[in-house]
């Protein structure tokens, strides 16, 4: 007869875990040197607004009746105060006093609040994402289990990652930069493009000539091209075996995405700008995408991204998580999803920032221990309780905006 070990310290909270407190921390780091999109891009006037004057993070802390606190992050680039207001004024009253284990019910309650008023994307879902992430972290800490175990278990012990991203450099400079990346152990690299068709094509050509088939090359246009220019560029990229063409056109051009996926052999990757299973349903079922890239801090948190991944898996669509310039909180959350997702492809390891001269301390210094250290382009899946992170209070204090 097998003896079952008793855990008196947590049994009390295994069936019910009331939420007692919700806090929001807005962190802002001014940037002194900015990287701007080249004026040659078709959508330059729109794209220049994506370059912001600071790194930002909206951290959510949710405390349970057991005294433990879960941590989450909302994906944000502008107006973090808007997210803070939504969380404290709209979402906190919904979840206060509720059972954290009813996470899916709580998600639907939060989502339904403003859905009929048209707020089923944007700031509302980003706010829900941070709250949901913190709830999952609280559950994991309480049960002493990693998030990937709560999601359903891990499919891998190591996570393949790619170096992201080489930003707006001349073609020959790109080759030199990739040499450094290869020396760090990476075999996959993503290039930010947008210098125009000739320069973008030349950069990829030089990389392939210099490093051969041993290097996996992705390109990311950040929605910078028109459909026609993306078609021309995509056909060139096909000759050099580019692994994926990310966000070639703006995310609101669904017919354009459909045309690209039908006419190009190169996989089209997108989804960092999309929200919820409903948005990804439309991307996937219409044949507009080959690789999905949801951000857990934007698309709806762990609860909703798990739904998105299940749907993508049913359609045979691989998953490459988006991290972008998020803090170490989201980076860690995406690691748990990468460990869990059967259709996982590769993880975005951010080694560069918006600024050429100034790193992002919210990525490097916000956590006491960063769990995404790589070796040979691989990250070992950590054994954790919840996310397995602890905030560095000195960094929080330094960049906190009241």
Full DSSP string of 35-61: ----TTSTTHHHHGGGS-SEEEEEEEE
Write the burial class of residue 373 (CB in 10 Å: 0-12 exposed, 13-18 middle, 19+ buried).
exposed
Per DSSP, the residues of 349-386 read EE---SSSS---HHHHTSBSS-S---BTTEEEPPP-SB
Residues 355 and 215 in one domain: yes
263 and 208 inside one domain: yes
CATH number of the domain bearing residue 348 = 3.20.20.120
The pLDDT value recorded for residue 37 is 62
311 alpha-carbon distance from chain centroid = 18
Per residue, the 3-state secondary structure of 251-292, as one string, reads CCCHHHHHHHHHHCCCCEEECCCCCHHHHHHHHHHCCCCCEE
Parallel, antiparallel, or unpaired: how do β-strands 188-192 and 69-74 relate? unpaired
Cα dihedral: 394, 397, 399, 402 (round 10): 170
Separation CA 354–CA 54 (nearest Å): 9
Contact 59, 87 (CB under 8 A): no
Give pLDDT < 70 ranges for the chain.
1-11, 33-52, 168-169, 352-358
Instruction: Report the domain count for the chain.
Output: 2
Give yes or no for a contact between 289 and 267, defined as CB atoms under 8 angstroms apart. no
In a domain, 223, yes or no: yes
Residues in the chain, overall count: 402
* pLDDT score for 249: 96
Of 212, 217, 255, nearest to 236 by C-alpha is 217
In-domain check, residue 397: no
Domain shared by 91 and 155, yes or no: no
Residues 137 and 219 in one domain: no
Q: Which of 146, 178, 210 is the last residue of a domain?
A: 146
- Claim to verify: residue 53 and residue 120 sit in the same structural domain: yes
Q: Please check whether residue 182 lies inside any domain of the structure.
A: yes
Task: Please give the helix or strand (H or E) that residue 32 lies within, else none.
Answer: none
Query: Which residues on adjacent β-strands are paired with residue 189?
Result: 163, 217
Place of tokens 């921390």: 25
Asked if residue 398 belongs to a domain, the reply is: no
Any domain includes 314:
yes
CATH of the domain at 140: 3.30.390.10
Q: Which domain holds residue 315?
A: 149-391
Q: 104 with 166, same domain?
A: no
With contact defined as beta carbons under 8 Å apart, do 40 and 225 qualify? no
Are 172 and 281 within one domain?
yes
Q: Which helix (H) or strand (E) element contains residue 235? A: helix 227-239
In the block, tokens 């349903």 appear at 281
Q: Which sign does the torsion angle of CA 287, 167, 188, 232 carry? A: positive
- Do both 45 and 185 map to the same domain? no
Q: How far is CA 138 from the centre of its chain?
A: 20
Write down the pTM of the prediction: 0.93
β-bridge pairing 158-166 and 378-380: antiparallel
- Whether residue 130 sits in one domain with residue 198: no
**Which pLDDT belongs to residue 38?**
61
Q: What's the confidence (pLDDT) of residue 1?
A: 45
Domain-embedded: residue 401: no
Point out the domain boundary residue: 99, 131, 146: 146
Task: Verify that 153 and 141 share a domain, yes or no.
Answer: no
Which of 57, 54, 51 shows the shortest CA–CA distance to 76?
Answer: 57
- Distance CA(269)–CA(286), nearest Å, equals 14
Same domain, yes or no: 133 and 178: no
Q: Looking at the structure, do residues 364 and 254 belong to the same domain, yes or no? A: yes
User: Token digits for 180?
Assistant: 């450094």
146, 166, 182 — which closes off a domain? 146
What pLDDT shows up at residue 204?
97
Q: Is 402 within a domain?
A: no
In a domain, 270, yes or no: yes
């Amino acid at each position: 007869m097998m003896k079952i070990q008793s855990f008196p310290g947590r049994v009390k909270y295994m069936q019910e875990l009331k939420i007692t407190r919700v806090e929001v921390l807005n962190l802002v780091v001014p940037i002194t040197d900015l990287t701007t999109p080249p004026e040659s891009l078709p959508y330059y006037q729109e794209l220049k607004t994506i370059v912001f004057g600071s790194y930002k993070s909206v951290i959510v802390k949710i405390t349970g009746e057991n005294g433990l606190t879960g941590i989450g992050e909302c994906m944000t680039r502008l107006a973090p105060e808007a997210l803070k207001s939504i969380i404290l004024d709209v979402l906190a009253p919904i979840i206060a006093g509720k059972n954290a284990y009813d996470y899916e019910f709580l998600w639907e309650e939060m989502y339904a609040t403003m859905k009929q008023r048209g707020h089923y994307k944007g700031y509302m879902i980003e706010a829900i994402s941070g709250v949901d992430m913190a709830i999952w972290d609280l559950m994991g800490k309480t049960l002493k289990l990693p998030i990937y175990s709560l999601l359903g278990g891990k499919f891998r012990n190591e996570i393949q990652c790619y170096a992201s991203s080489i930003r707006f450099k001349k073609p020959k400079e790109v080759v030199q930069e990739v040499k450094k990346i290869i020396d760090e152990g990476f075999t996959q690299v993503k290039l930010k493009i947008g210098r125009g068709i000739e320069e973008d094509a030349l950069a990829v050509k030089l990389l392939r000539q210099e490093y051969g088939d041993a290097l996996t090359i992705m390109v990311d246009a950040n929605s910078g091209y028109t459909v026609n220019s993306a078609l021309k560029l995509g056909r060139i990229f096909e000759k050099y075996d580019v692994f994926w063409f990310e966000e070639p056109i703006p995310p609101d051009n669904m017919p354009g995405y459909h045309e690209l996926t039908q006419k190009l052999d190169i996989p089209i990757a997108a989804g960092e700008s999309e929200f919820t299973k409903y948005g990804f349903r439309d991307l996937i079922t219409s044949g507009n995408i080959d690789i999905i890239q949801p951000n857990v801090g934007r698309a709806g948190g762990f609860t909703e991204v798990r739904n998105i991944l299940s749907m993508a898996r049913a359609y045979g669509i691989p998953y490459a998580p988006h991290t972008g310039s998020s803090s170490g909180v989201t980076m860690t959350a995406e690691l748990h999803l990468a460990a869990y997702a059967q259709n996982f492809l590769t993880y975005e390891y951010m080694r560069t920032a918006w600024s050429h001269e100034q790193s992002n301390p919210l990525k490097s210094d916000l956590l006491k221990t960063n769990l995404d250290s790589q070796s040979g382009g691989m990250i070992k899946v950590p054994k954790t309780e919840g996310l397995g992170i602890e905030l560095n209070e000195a960094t929080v204090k330094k960049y906190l905006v009241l």
